[in-house]
Amino acid sequence: MRALLFIAVLLGLAGQASAGQISSAYSKLNLESDCTFHETGEQGGAAKCKGFGDYPVHFAEGDLRQMVEFGFITAGDRGWVSFGEWNRINDTIEWRLDGTRPIATIARWFIENIDDTGSASKALEGQVLVVSKVGQPGEFDACVVGYVDAKANPNANTIARQVADTLVRQFRCGVDRPAFHGERGPLSGTPSGL
């Protein structure tokens, strides 16, 4: 009997350990083949796109600026959160999983800073990793949690994963404010969510 009880306790502990394991999965954001646009206009539009499992990517673009939210959200939930500068999101999204449930995403943004002529300059292009909280079914709590300047931090991916793994669960969208983590250089742009 004691042996059976001991084995049951060990199995219970092993199950608890694996449930809290954080891992990564990746998806591609293909605006042409994986998105359904429900708003379109001369300056841009809005779409619901394939994400990870049942968790969609919500994409919007306007005036050469893009915005995304992840998971389950309510329409018009947070307003426009992007960068003041022209920008675009990379097509690869890293999903941070707690067991099998996505809790955060990390996406690389390209910031098109302008030169003295007022034109976007490749030499002044910034790169920022944006860490976002994924909205869960019934909670609809999705927002940006933090930023990491990928040009100023050689270990930017590690920093972004630490932010995702340690801050997302207790982050209160609409109450807590996102911040830069690590070093911040002059090409990191002006996030509207700060």
pTM: 0.87
3-class SS at 78?
Answer: coil
Task: Give the pLDDT confidence of 144-191 residue by residue, as tens digits.
Answer: 999 999 999 999 999 999 999 999 999 999 899 999 999 999 999 999
CA–CA dist 86, 116 (Å, integer): 16
Residue 1 belongs to a domain: no
pLDDT-derived band at 118 (thresholds 50, 70, 90) equals confident
Residue 2 belongs to a domain: no
pLDDT-derived band at 5 (thresholds 50, 70, 90) equals very low
pLDDT of residue 76: 57
Cβ–Cβ contacts within 10 Å for residue 85, how many? 22
Mean pLDDT of the chain: 88
The answer on pLDDT for 126 being more than 90 is: yes
Count: domains in the chain: 1
CA distances from 93 to 105, 106, 151, 188 (A): 7, 6, 18, 19
The answer on pLDDT for 6 being more than 80 is: no
Residue 122 belongs to a domain: yes
Residue 149 belongs to a domain: yes
Residue 70 belongs to a domain: yes
Residue 6 belongs to a domain: no
pLDDT of residue 17: 36
Task: Give the pLDDT confidence of 14-59 residue by residue, as tens digits.
Answer: 333 334 699 999 999 999 999 999 877 767 789 999 999 999 999 9
Give the domain extent around 159: 21-180
